[in-house]
Amino acid sequence: MAYYPVDLDKAVERECKRRRYSSRTTQTYLYWIHAFLEFNKKPLNQTSKKEVKEFLYHLSEKEKSGNTLNTCHMALRFLFQSVLEKKMWIDIKYSKVPERIQRFLTKEEMKKLIGKIKNWKHRLMIEFMYGAGLRVSELIHIRVKDLILEKGYGFVRNGKGGKDRIIVIPKVVCEKVKNLVEMENLDDESFLFYSDGKRVYSVRSLQQIIKNAAKNADLKDWKEIHPHTLRHSFATHLIENKHALTEVQAMLGHKSPETSLIYVHNSSPAMTNIKSPLDNL
């Protein structure tokens, strides 16, 4: 039987936390839930699939993107099915999202970007993010105890989807991290990267570091280069270096190999060792 909590926000937050969703996902879901409630004007116990459809049609008429419609749809399904336990199967077809090849940097572009970062700690953070294929949120939450520097690997704890995974740490990064730990007298429980004020870096700070470096390196479409571009580049370069798709999947922490398949498309046919049959005629 469905129930209707007095504090809806708290109920949504609790269920998100139970499922180990990120704070960003929680806030996105709450945003669309409130947008729907404001549009709908009806009490939740009088709301049906019809009202959900009307809201999605409303967003579509405002020319919202397929990604936006899908996110809103997922938020409302989560509300009714997971939080309210309402037996209302929202079987609306998801909006089609145009396929787009992810932006990535060539190895030469990556060198240029790193070379333009003058602050030694900022440069180390970018080298670590690219060299290990990390999400920006994973980088800023890495702790000293998560790193096995003498063996060149470490662990991402509670990454996307609440999963742990192993990461490779480049030799040059290992040496610099050892120096950083010693210089700043970090203990095992410490986060690896702190700003001068002994605060953990924000996602926004990393975004700005990369944006400035891309601009100073005069990279094409530098405004479109962001932290996740480094992760795309890491994966694409692994494919270029002849690593198997399953290895890339493991390094990125993807649940499905299909998610990693995009990086094969990023690589040129020559890099993926594909030869046209016309050449053999």
Q: Are 235 and 151 in contact (CB under 8 A)?
A: no
Alpha-carbon distance 214 to 270, whole Å? 27
Tell me the residue type at 208.
Answer: Q
Please indicate whether residue 243 is annotated as part of the active site: no
* Rounded distance between C-alpha atoms, residue 74 and residue 277, angstroms: 44
Q: Active site includes 254?
A: yes
Catalytic residue, candidates 86, 122, 231, 237: 231
**Active-site annotation holder among 29, 130, 201, 263:** 263
Active site residue 263: yes
The catalytic position among 112, 145, 215, 228 is 228
Cα distance between residue 200 and residue 194, in whole Å = 5
Q: 100 catalytic, yes or no?
A: no
Contacts of 50 (CB under 8 A, 6+ apart): none
Task: Give the active site residue among 73, 86, 135, 237.
Answer: 135
- Whether 204 is catalytic is no
Q: Is 160 a catalytic residue?
A: yes
Contact predicate 195/167, CB 8 Å: no
- The residue from 73, 122, 237, 254 that is catalytic is 254
Annotated catalytic residue: which of 122, 160, 232, 237?
160
Catalytic residues: 135, 160, 228, 231, 254, 263
